[in-house]
Amino acid sequence: MKIKICVNSTKNFSGKTLPIIIPSLIESGIDPEDIFVFEGGHDERFVIKKDTYTLIQTDNNTIDFTALVDIVEYKVESDYWFYIHDTCKVGLQFKELIYNIPESLPDKIALRPKYSMNIGLYKYQYLMKHRDRLLKIKNKDYSREGIQKSKMWGVYYEDYILHKSLDSAAHIYNPDISHKPVLLNVRNWYNTDVKRITVYHANLDLYKSKSNFIGPKDWMVIDL
């Protein structure tokens, strides 16, 4: 069984995010051949082979759905795709944890029981089943208004084909490990003036740097 990693990114920020997430994926044991960065915001689509990942410059910027739209439109195959934001980084246990899949080989496995930010594992056949739904939301309008419209749609339809699609149940990753997000008081990884927080998800050994956030009241906070 092959799991490829799809890193959802955008050309306006990838220069800051990729130097953090790519090394962390490799250090966890992910083969560089299995890392694909989908960089939104280009007029034409190009595939560029890098030393440590494959860069796909996509002809769409559908915010959090850029990678999934490109995968189904251009039929980028794998047994499974693990979707992750470029504003994440992972720990050393990440690979082991994402490969902990039920023997039933479900269509999808989510980061959390809800509010998973689309992060999780998707069977390729399941993505292709929803090809038309994903292509309907493809955004090629790169104006400020077009990007904002796509962004707000994505906020409302978080987990669009993960939790919100009820044609098959979403399993939850590593249910024996706490799914409660842990808020870490750490510096902004990207050394920008934008206020960001870092949230840790133990069940996948995954860290997410967030801006424009409204945190759940039950988050645990740990000072580092």
Q: How far apart are CA 92 and CA 60, in angstroms?
A: 32
Q: How far apart are CA 63 and CA 8, in angstroms?
A: 8
Percent of the chain with pLDDT over 70: 94
User: What number is the average pLDDT over the span 89-113?
Assistant: 97
pLDDT tens readout for residues 43-97: 999 999 999 999 999 999 999 999 999 999 999 999 999 999 999 999 999 999 9
What local confidence, expressed as pLDDT, does residue 191 receive? 87
Q: How far apart are CA 121 and CA 60, in angstroms?
A: 22
Are 83 and 18 in contact by the 8 Å Cβ rule? The answer is no
Q: How far apart are CA 197 and CA 25, in angstroms?
A: 21
User: What number is the average pLDDT over the span 16-38?
Assistant: 98
Are 2 and 80 in contact by the 8 Å Cβ rule? The answer is yes
Reply yes or no on whether the pLDDT at 125 is more than 80: yes
Q: What is the DSSP string of the chain?
A: --EEEEEEEETTTHHHHHHHHHHHHHHTT--GGGEEEEEE--SS-EEEE-SSSEEEE-S---GGGHHHHHHHHHT---SEEEEEETTEEE-TTHHHHHT---TT--SEEESSSS--TT-EEEEHHHHHHTHHHHHHT-----SHHHHHHHHHHHHHTTTTTTTS--SSPPEES-TTS----EEEE---TT--SS--EEEEEGGGTEEEEESS----TT-EEEE-
Model confidence at 213, pLDDT cuts 50, 70, 90, reads low
User: What number is the average pLDDT over the span 142-159?
Assistant: 94
User: What number is the average pLDDT over the span 159-164?
Assistant: 96
Are 196 and 209 in contact by the 8 Å Cβ rule? The answer is yes
Reply yes or no on whether the pLDDT at 222 is more than 80: no
Q: What is the pTM of this model?
A: 0.94
List the single range of 6-20, 127-141, 169-183, 202-216 with lowest mean pLDDT.
202-216
> Cα separations (Å) of 133 from 57, 74, 193, 207?
22, 15, 37, 29
User: What number is the average pLDDT over the span 117-126?
Assistant: 98
**Whose CA is closest to 165, among 138, 189, 132?**
132
> Cα separations (Å) of 94 from 37, 166, 210?
18, 27, 19
Reply yes or no on whether the pLDDT at 38 is more than 90: yes
What local confidence, expressed as pLDDT, does residue 216 receive? 47
What is the overall mean pLDDT for the chain?
A: 93
Are 166 and 133 in contact by the 8 Å Cβ rule? The answer is no
| Domains, the chain | 3-175 (3.90.550)
